[in-house]
Structure formats: C-alpha cells, structure tokens
Amino acid sequence: MDGPIRKVTPYVFYGQTTSLCESCYALVPAKIIIEDGNVFYLKRCKTHGVQKALVSTDPTYYKLCHDYLKPGDRPLQVQTRTELGCPYDCGLCPDHEQHSCLALIDVNEACNLTCPVCFADSSTAKTSHRSLAEIERMMDALVASEGEPDLLQLSGGEPTIHPKILDIIAAAKRRPIRHIMLNTNGIRIAQEPEFVKALAAFKPGIEVYLQFDSLRPEALKTLRGADLTRIRRQALEALEKEPISTTLVVVVKHGVNDDELGEIIDYALQWKCVRGVTFQPIQDAGRNENFDARRDRVVLSDIRRKIIEAGTAFGEGDIIPLPCNPESIAIGYALRKGSQIAPITSFFPKEMLVEALPNAITFEKFPDLHKQVMAFFSLATSECRHPEKLNALLCCLPEIPVPEGMGYENVFRIAIVEFMDAHNFCLGRVKRSCIHFVTSNGQIIPFETYNLFYRDAAAQQRMAISKGGKV
C-alpha cells in the first residue's frame, strides 16, 4: 500500500542544552546532535535563525566524558547571589558547581606585543598596571574563596613588564597558595638573565607558563604578529640554565599550527625544564583577527586525535577527561627520563578517579603501575616516595610515586584546555568551569563568561545585548 512515509532524521538527537547565539549572544536552546561522526549544537535564535556549531569530532570520546563526571568541589565562599540566572550572576554565585582549580589575576593590561590573537585584547598601546595593593586584595579574595588555592596564574597583558612583578610574586608566596605560574610571552625572560635569576629565587613553587604556539615563523606571525622563534629558544635556554619549571602553551588554530602538535611535544622533551605542554583550541573572544569560524575553529577532540596519531607515546587511553570538568579539559601524564616518556594515565581506572581519591597512590593497589615505574626507571628496589602531585597543574588527580631522588622533573604532562565561546557555549558546562579570573572587586568569574560578558566595556555591552536578546 502506498501512503505517506515517515522520515528518519539524518542525526541522533543526543540531548539538549542552552547555548549562545553567535550574532547577538542571546541564550538560545540547542539540540545536541550526532551526525556523520561529529557532535554539533543545533541552535535557534529568535532573531538570527538556525545555527549549527561543531562541538566534537569524536562522539565516542564525547560520550566518555560524561562517565568521568564526579561530584562538584565547591568554593568556601561565593561572592554573588543567584538572581538573574546563569551566566548573568557571576560570580562565583551559589549555582556554580566547581571551585577555582586554577585562578588567574591580570596584573596589567600593558604588553610588549600586539598579537592578532589575544583574548585579553592587550597591546603595546595599553599602558596600565594594577597597583600592588589592588593585586594583594585580589589574592586575599582568592584565599578567602579557596582556603589554600591550588594554583594562581599571574597574567595580563604581559606580567613580566609590570614594574613590581617581583613584589607581586613575593606577595603570592607569602600567602597559602600552593603553586604560582607566570604567564608570559617570554620576551623579558629571553632578554634579561638577571630577571630570570630573580625569578629562580622564588623556587620551589614557581613555574613559567610560556606562550609557545609553533616552531614555524609563519604560524607565529599569524598568531603573534612576529617571528618569535629566536625569542622562544632564548627564553627556554634561560629557563633551562636556572632551571625553572616551564609549561609550553600552544593556542591551536586550524590550518595554522594544528599539523605540528607532535613535533611540539618532541621539541618540549628536548628541554629538561619543560614539565608539559598545554594546548588550547583558539577561543573566539577578545581580539581574534581574520577569524572565520567555519574555516579556523579547532575542537578539543581534534587536538587529542592529532596527538594520538602523531606518533607520540600518548595512545588512546593515555589522554583522558579531567573529572571536575571533563568536556573542557583532557589530560595525560607520563613518567619522564631525559627525552623518553612512558604514559601512566591509563593505569588509573575511571571509577577510582570519579570517587573520593586517596591523596597518594600506593603501589599495593596499582601493581601494574608499580611494574611500569620500576621498568621505566630500571630499578631493582621499590624505594619510592610521593614528591609531586599529579595535580600540580590541575586537581582531581592523586600524588604519583616516583623513585627516591627523582621529582617533578620526572613527570611530563599533556593538557588540552578548551575554553568555550559563543559557538560551543553550553550552560551546563560553564557551571563546571574550574578556571577562573579574580576581579578587582573581589569577584571570581569563570574564564569563559569573563571573556564573553564581564572583562571590559565591550564584553559588558555584549551582556546587555544578550539579556535583551536582540542586536
């Protein structure tokens, strides 16, 4: 019998969230769909119509992220009330699910570069520096919220050109902050050995978070406006000399540097001072010149896949979702001996990571990990200690035992940190954000909502339009 035939959708409707319109930043409903091996948000704005944003190129990993969810770890204090609803109550408001695993304080707007890609919209034209007293008040707000903050990143602008940067680091060291990172483009470090010596005096507990991006001049010109290959090498030589623990930070833009992720990891392993590489898909926020979302976006799963397929030691099970914010952050840890590494993340069962963790792993509970450690370091005895937490950069992970006489330099870390923008914004995911800015009035605001809605006059204007829902 001929009759009307029902249609099957070309996708699987996997769920529903609330996202943002890419034009007016209004909150819009978004269907989460899986289609042709990708995950998308299918959004509908009353004013700007239907939009389709790529969220993941790996549905299996996307689904796996939800298995890693663990109960939230709340801050000691919140700074605002739940009134207008997320994301207009930052923060942190009582609705937020995660404390500040990593907090940032912008010590200045001034910079010695004007990068075409800069979510802070800093430049050589900006000259302002926060006063030490104001920065100390911001640190106190963080300590009040966290008790003992895990990690503070001093950022900007370019923090190393703040006239009181050493006093700022000293002020952070006087507080119960476990780990301090200096986020820098490396120019001052490359050019001033005395400055690097002064930084080294703050060891242990100080690390340099070095903008790196690429080994190629052309990619650096696209992302940073200048060929910084020599500056990067000189900065690493200076950091190696002291030595100061360093993490390389790579902003990844499709077609610019996404084909050299494996080479960057290999290069990182040539430097003893480098403890790991953090990859960040480009966030469409602040200054983002010549950005075409359809052409230039990269998502976390792209980067994870490229690292796995680049022939690095990290395989499928070695880069896993971080339990406090699994869709936004992936991590992989390895033991390190010279330029050799042996990944270990796969030794921790998911069930263990999402439940209450012991502070330190004991080898009795992890015989396979024990064997791996002993074989990798060619040891005959089981003399091991717990000198360094895996959570030196990000929490949720236990201390790892390494043999007597070895330490942080024997651990290597890959992190992929995807900050959402208007394309892939998810209201559920932002409530789990664990990377936060501290503001001058003592508020603590998730990285994403800060850049989209709170950072400056342009962001606040965006919020006003978003609330109105029209341009």
Residues of this chain that bind ligand SF4 (CB under 6 A)? 86-87, 89-93, 95-96, 111, 113-115, 118, 120, 122-123, 156-158, 185, 430-431, 446, 449
Cβ atoms of 105 and 181 within 8 Å: the answer is no
Kindly tell me which of 38 and 77 has the beta carbon lying closer to ligand SF4. Answer: 77
Kindly tell me which of 161 and 397 has the beta carbon lying closer to ligand SF4. Answer: 161
Strand partners, 424: none
Report the nearest approach of ligand SF4 to the CB of residue 410 (Å).
30
Kindly tell me which of 23 and 114 has the beta carbon lying closer to ligand SF4. Answer: 114
Report the nearest approach of ligand SF4 to the CB of residue 155 (Å).
8
Report the nearest approach of ligand SF4 to the CB of residue 295 (Å).
21
Report the nearest approach of ligand SF4 to the CB of residue 460 (Å).
14
Kindly tell me which of 216 and 305 has the beta carbon lying closer to ligand SF4. Answer: 216
Kindly tell me which of 80 and 245 has the beta carbon lying closer to ligand SF4. Answer: 80
Nearest Cα to Cα of residue 465 among 25, 153, 156? 25
Report the nearest approach of ligand SF4 to the CB of residue 121 (Å).
7
Report the nearest approach of ligand SF4 to the CB of residue 28 (Å).
16
Kindly tell me which of 203 and 230 has the beta carbon lying closer to ligand SF4. Answer: 230
Report the nearest approach of ligand SF4 to the CB of residue 313 (Å).
30
Kindly tell me which of 232 and 304 has the beta carbon lying closer to ligand SF4. Answer: 232
Kindly tell me which of 286 and 321 has the beta carbon lying closer to ligand SF4. Answer: 286
Cis peptide before 243 (omega within 30 of 0): yes
Report the nearest approach of ligand SF4 to the CB of residue 281 (Å).
15
Report the nearest approach of ligand SF4 to the CB of residue 450 (Å).
9
Report the nearest approach of ligand SF4 to the CB of residue 235 (Å).
13
Kindly tell me which of 53 and 111 has the beta carbon lying closer to ligand SF4. Answer: 111
Cβ atoms of 280 and 250 within 8 Å: the answer is yes
Close Cβ partners of 404 (under 8 Å, ≥ 6 residues apart) = 383, 384, 385
Report the nearest approach of ligand SF4 to the CB of residue 108 (Å).
9
Phi, psi of 108 (to 5 degrees): -160, 170
Report the nearest approach of ligand SF4 to the CB of residue 468 (Å).
18
Kindly tell me which of 94 and 147 has the beta carbon lying closer to ligand SF4. Answer: 94
> Which amino acid belongs to residue 459?
A
Taking the CB of residue 38, how many other CB atoms lie within 10 A of it? 17
Kindly tell me which of 87 and 343 has the beta carbon lying closer to ligand SF4. Answer: 87
Kindly tell me which of 369 and 420 has the beta carbon lying closer to ligand SF4. Answer: 420
The C-alpha atoms of residue 73 and residue 362 are separated, in whole angstroms, by 24
The C-alpha atoms of residue 433 and residue 103 are separated, in whole angstroms, by 11
Taking the CB of residue 190, how many other CB atoms lie within 10 A of it? 21
